[in-house]
Amino acid sequence: MSGALEDKRTATRFRILAEIADRQPAVSQGEIAEAVGVTSQAVSEYIRDLVEDGLVEKQGRSRYRVTKEGVDWLFQEARALQRFAEHVTDDVLESVNEDAAIVTEDVAAGDTVTLSLREGLLHATPGDDGPAIGVVTTDAEAGGAASVTGFEGVIEMEAGSVRVLQVPPARLAESDAVDSDALAAACDDADIVVAAGVEAVVACRHAEVDVRTWFAPGEIAADAAARGLDAAVVASTDTAGRVTDALRDAGVLFEVTEP
């Protein structure tokens, strides 16, 4: 999830950096303060921190430019905000269209249900004691799918994590030297494992790791993380870059390591 959604300071930092990018190089701290809703002194302190962190470069009195690092940070935060907004719009607050949910108990059309995400799928439990509720429009037995509408509230969900596990490419002599036990252990805690590249698929098969797919692994891992799942992407070093590019585009935090 975007840091701008997690604490007020990061949100203010994001807005001030965006204002600097929009107004550079001549930056009026008073105008930024008015736009963001803080004092000019606070803007001055934020800009000083941004300069110290290498996100903004001071070029003279009241003249600033956002650095490449600052642009990258803004881009990642903006994409994370966009993805979260899409999740809220598409999965949580849509009250006109109907969506399907797995029911945990028998329900009848007209019942109010509490909504939650489990294993990345929408679930509905009879009752209205949750932060997100809806109304089922079809009868369904426990474990079946029911149509739900009238969504209200926000589904509680903590974004998942993504680990990119690099294995050597086939063109290198050590391509067969992957520690299968270590790879299996690294994937053990993941809710979903996907592979990028033939070498990754072979390494997972040798380690007896259940790979869901090897198509669009970066996009799938990003979508899984957005739905609260922890994902592992096993990738050859030749394909890892495409995976991390997809994760960055989606605004998903990730770590790259070796098993």
Tell whether 220 is covered by a domain: yes
According to DSSP, the β-strands at 132-136 and 145-153 are antiparallel
Residue with tokens 């962190």, as numbered in its chain: 53
The pLDDT assigned to 10 comes to 87
Tell whether 114 is covered by a domain: yes
Tell whether 33 is covered by a domain: yes
pLDDT band with cut points at 50, 70 and 90 for residue 89: low
Do 50 and 110 lie in a common domain?
A: no
Across 84-108, average pLDDT: 76
> Residue 63 maps to which CATH number?
1.10.10.10
Tell whether 147 is covered by a domain: yes
The pLDDT assigned to 158 comes to 79
Tell whether 3 is covered by a domain: no
Tell whether 115 is covered by a domain: yes
Do 20 and 87 lie in a common domain?
A: yes
Instruction: Answer whether residue 137 shows pLDDT above 90.
Output: yes
Instruction: Answer whether residue 95 shows pLDDT above 60.
Output: no
The pLDDT assigned to 71 comes to 93
pLDDT in tens, 122-136: 999 999 988 899 999
- CB neighbours (10 Å) of residue 208? 9
pLDDT band with cut points at 50, 70 and 90 for residue 57: very high
Do 67 and 106 lie in a common domain?
A: no
Across 41-60, average pLDDT: 93
Do 82 and 134 lie in a common domain?
A: no
The pLDDT assigned to 5 comes to 61
Do 112 and 199 lie in a common domain?
A: no
184: containing domain: 162-257
Among 108, 126, 153, give the residue marking a domain's end. Answer: 153
Share of the chain above pLDDT 90, in %: 65
Across 244-256, average pLDDT: 90
Distance CA(104)–CA(113), nearest Å, equals: 10
Across 237-259, average pLDDT: 91
Tell whether 2 is covered by a domain: no
Task: Give all strands (DSSP E) within the chain, no chain letters.
Answer: 56-60, 63-66, 99-103, 112-118, 121-126, 132-136, 145-153, 162-167, 192-196, 231-236, 254-257
Do 205 and 247 lie in a common domain?
A: yes
Tell whether 169 is covered by a domain: yes
pLDDT band with cut points at 50, 70 and 90 for residue 117: confident
Distance CA(212)–CA(191), nearest Å, equals: 10
Do 15 and 86 lie in a common domain?
A: yes
pLDDT band with cut points at 50, 70 and 90 for residue 225: very high
Domain count, the chain: 3
- The tokens describing 32, both together, are 């930024």
pLDDT in tens, 4-47: 566 788 889 999 999 999 999 998 999 999 999 999 999 999 99
- CB neighbours (10 Å) of residue 9? 12
pLDDT in tens, 177-217: 789 999 999 999 999 999 999 999 999 999 999 999 999 99
Do 168 and 149 lie in a common domain?
A: no
Model confidence, pTM: 0.58
Instruction: Answer whether residue 157 shows pLDDT above 80.
Output: no
pLDDT band with cut points at 50, 70 and 90 for residue 90: low
Across 95-103, average pLDDT: 78
Question: Is the pLDDT higher at 60 or at 156?
Answer: 60
The angle formed by the CA atoms of residues 191, 244 and 214, to the nearest 5 degrees, is: 55
